[in-house]
Structure 1
Amino acid sequence: MILWRNLQADQILYVGLQKLHNYQEKFLKDMGVAFQVQTDEFVSDDDVKRFMQRFDHILVHFDIDVLDERFFHSTYFANSELVGDGVGGGKMTVEKLTKVLKCITENSDVVGFTIAEYLPFDEYRLHKMFSEISLFTE
């Protein structure tokens, strides 16, 4: 049985975190969350393993925006029609993400996995296009 309790600041590890706005950085610091902006180099597998050794169970929250929009297009930053708030998109490739997730799942007991910010703009455009073609609507 897993007993849930309040999540503590030292129980959070960001992998792939990019440049933050001042108010975001202030919030994380005020909450006591240790973080490292990873523009040039991501958190190492050893760092991830060291972090996970402290816990019996791991919850992974995967924000699609960690991925580089040049290589994965279903992110907010890949839509040129949207303005955003000035923060840049992710720098991680799908291959790097696969390596990180394999490291996590092969070295811990993952009890939950969430995905956020999956924005399938291309799929929506295809759906819209097909909806105007009688072959697909009749």
Structure 2
Amino acid sequence: MNISTDKTLRLIFPQWQGGNNPAYQFGAQLLSWLAPEASGPVAEVNVASPLSAPLENEEGIIGRAALRAQLASAQQLLQSHNPDAVVVLGGDCLVSLAPFAWLSEKYRDKLGVLWIDTHPDVMTPEQFENAHAHVLGALMGNGDPDLTAAVTLPLSAEKIMIAGIHHPSAYEADFIRQHGINTCSPAEVNSGAEAVISWMESQNIEYLAIHLDLDVLDPAAFRSVLFARPGRNDNDFGGAAEGKLLISDVLSLTTQVAKKSPVVGLTIAEHLPWDAANLKSMLSQLPLLGTGAKQ
């Protein structure tokens, strides 16, 4: 099957509530500006402003109502455009839920999901209140009903490969082991990603969806990720694993897998351009330019 550009939907999804971090919204907007011009349809999910009411924990999930509304909006856009392929520019990691559920239903057992991420995103509200850490588990049919309800055909574990993962939490490691999810360490990615290619061949992956969480990148080399937040302390992120890959590693991996199977899904998530965001804030307050212009 050839993927036509006019049947490839570019979905701008500036969701920030899943990570409870307003900077994700600006990150998605900047990704949209940076990306090459689309040759097919473009749609944007309506996302509530960070200036609206503060988020609260709603039955175990921060911002549940907003996330539920935005999920429904994304589903409606997918149904309206009926794409063969989807590019998602996010936003926090939860933006992959509706598009990948759509692709799972469309391509069924022919679809494989390559999750390029330092973290497996298989938690539930019992472990973590921010839903961006729940998304892959929900795509497998595990977790909160408001998320799993969006998945008509859950992904089977053997059709999933998590690349770039290291030092998962005890819960995550146990989930991966119990479900038999394939993983590929940063070192394995660096050495040629043979484990990923072998997985694709053994599972007869005919179509591939790729989720790229930018925090798989080393924050010392790529500064627009959560762990590169200016002024951070060593214990600010609770010991969560930090990315070890370079952009060249990710490009090598995606180039190799795209030669094996057509890519029908691509999400770019968790873009946090700290310097640009701080500069944007400064510009809005300078004399003759922002609020200072009224003085």
TM-score range, shorter chain: 0.7 to 0.9
CA distance in 2, matches of 1:20, 1:45: 19
Q: Which residue matches 2:172?
A: 24
Letter in 2 for 1:92: L
1:75 to 225, 232, 235: 225
Matched, 1:6 2:159: no
Matched, 1:115 2:261: no
Tell me the SS of whatever aligns to 1:65.
Answer: helix
Question: Which gives a bigger RCO, structure 1 or 2 (Cα 8 Å, sep 6+)?
Answer: 1
Q: Relative to 1, partners in 2 of residues 1:45 and 1:8: Cα closer, same or farther, differing over 3 Å?
A: same
Shift of 1:65: 1.0
Shift of 1:135: 4.0
Q: Which residue matches 1:99?
A: 252
Instruction: Provide, for residues 14-73 of structure 1, a one-character-per-residue CA deviation record: whole Å limited to 9, x for no partner.
Output: 11112111111112222221334x25x123333222222311100001111110001111
Shift of 1:87: 1.9
Q: Relative to 1, partners in 2 of residues 1:127 and 1:32: Cα closer, same or farther, differing over 3 Å?
A: same
Q: Which residue matches 1:126?
A: 279
CA distance in 2, matches of 1:105, 1:33: 21
Gaps of 5+ in 1: none
Q: Relative to 1, partners in 2 of residues 1:20 and 1:59: Cα closer, same or farther, differing over 3 Å?
A: same
CA distance in 2, matches of 1:129, 1:72: 22
The structure richer in strand per residue is 2
Tell me the SS of whatever aligns to 2:239.
Answer: coil
Aligned residues: 136
**Is contact 1:63-1:116 (8 Å) kept?**
yes
Q: Which residue matches 1:136?
A: 289
* % identical equivalent positions: 28
Runs of 4+ in 1 over 4 A off after TM superposition: none
Q: Which residue matches 2:213?
A: 63
CA distance in 2, matches of 1:42, 1:26: 21
Q: Which residue matches 1:35?
A: 183
CA distance in 1, matches of 2:183, 2:193: 16
Gaps of 5+ in 2: 1-83, 85-105, 109-152
**Is contact 2:163-2:183 (8 Å) kept?**
no
Q: Relative to 1, partners in 2 of residues 1:45 and 1:23: Cα closer, same or farther, differing over 3 Å?
A: closer
Q: Name the stretch that deviates more: 73-82 or 109-118.
A: 73-82
CA distance in 2, matches of 1:65, 1:55: 26
Shift of 1:105: 1.9
